[in-house]
Structure 1
């Protein structure tokens, strides 16, 4: 089908996500409960999409991750998928600035049966970075917090990663703002900072995947530590 047949591309993306979720996420009551709790708490609708959450779980499982670090918990939706993917004795250390969000996430993760795997560190993630030294080696880091500090979180992840670890940074394309050098908001500048860092850092091999779906036009940076 040509693009001209579908003038409303975002509606088309949603339609495809609806189909994919009916195939891969139908009947997942725990996943639905986490999202319902987020909505019920009037949190911003900024959690990863169901398909992207599944991707995080697949990445964690594919490398046999046992220790995962997350920057940006929100209501625990991505945390749920990461915790499910690791071994029974594995752990997810997730950072959340807002105590109310952390409380909602804790209740949801406990109800989903994975709470025992998850440590939620409340406060400014930048202040909690030094504690990551005690968690090393980290197998996978997912960065989805305040965008202006993307590069700082990436450097922190590198410092505690082992060869073969993965670092994933969400929202780096942000509707194409990444490549708009005249755009100086924190999304664009934070995305460019981490993309340019990953591109030149000889400690990693990285790429960026552009994505579309119910979260509109965006993308993820995925890096493996060498």
Structure 2
């Protein structure tokens, strides 16, 4: 059995044991597939992890960069209190349209604001709003360092930032890579190194999505 097969089977075991079957969430993934969106949603175990992060933070104000079909957005929105809110930024209008339908289907539409356009253009429009409690970055990796700089302007002491896909099958170790995603990830780590406002770590993950990882940072 290959490593990936094992990782997938372990993920499925976790899901069977810890995450009750939810046909509505399964329908979200089906809707994304039928709309021919890229199959790059977080896994169910990762979605539940996002949900638990929001609960642990007692977050009321969540920011997401990279909506896709709204699968991760919905996981987080379901963890919010009555007065909680998710602002999610999506570059692709089609993806945003599918995500909006999915949010309506799952009953969280009233808790989510979907903003369409390049995130580096829309992030500055959020300045002046109430700072975010929890921020999830899962978009184009080449812009990760720029996203970190921008979301700091929208944060406060204690804001938690989670960045997905920072290992890329270990390719982040290639200092000579010309892949813009790898270059962006490495530049992000250079930015985080001894950053005066961020206390950070990173962890590697394996599972149904392969070999990757997350950065976790807290604004100090």
Length-normalised TM-score, structure 1: 0.94
Partner of 1:3: none
Identify the structure with the greater helix proportion. 1
Length-normalised TM-score, structure 2: 0.97
Give yes or no for the alignment of 1:109 onto 2:103: yes
State the Cα RMSD in Å: 1.1
Q: Deviations over 1:100-125 (max 9, x none)?
A: 11111101111111110000001111
Aligned-pair CA distance for 1:205: 0.7
Q: 2:164 aligns with which of 166, 170, 174?
A: 170
Aligned-pair CA distance for 1:190: 1.2
Q: Give me the whole-angstrom Cα distance separating, in 1, the residues matched to 2:216 and 2:86.
A: 19
Q: Deviations over 1:136-184 (max 9, x none)?
A: 3110111111111001111111111111110111000000011111222
Give yes or no for the alignment of 1:22 onto 2:16: yes
What is the correspondence of 1:28-177 to structure 2 with a 5 Å cutoff? 28-177=22-171
Q: Which 4+ runs in 1 deviate beyond 6 A?
A: none
Aligned residues between the structures: 220
Give 5+ residue unaligned stretches, structure 1: 1-5
Q: Give me the whole-angstrom Cα distance separating, in 1, the residues matched to 2:149 and 2:67.
A: 19
Give 5+ residue unaligned stretches, structure 2: none
User: Given that residues 123 and 151 in structure 2 are in contact (C-alpha distance below 8 angstroms), is that contact kept between their aligned partners in structure 1?
Assistant: no
Partner of 1:179: 173
User: Given that residues 174 and 187 in structure 1 are in contact (C-alpha distance below 8 angstroms), is that contact kept between their aligned partners in structure 2?
Assistant: no
Aligned-pair CA distance for 1:25: 2.7
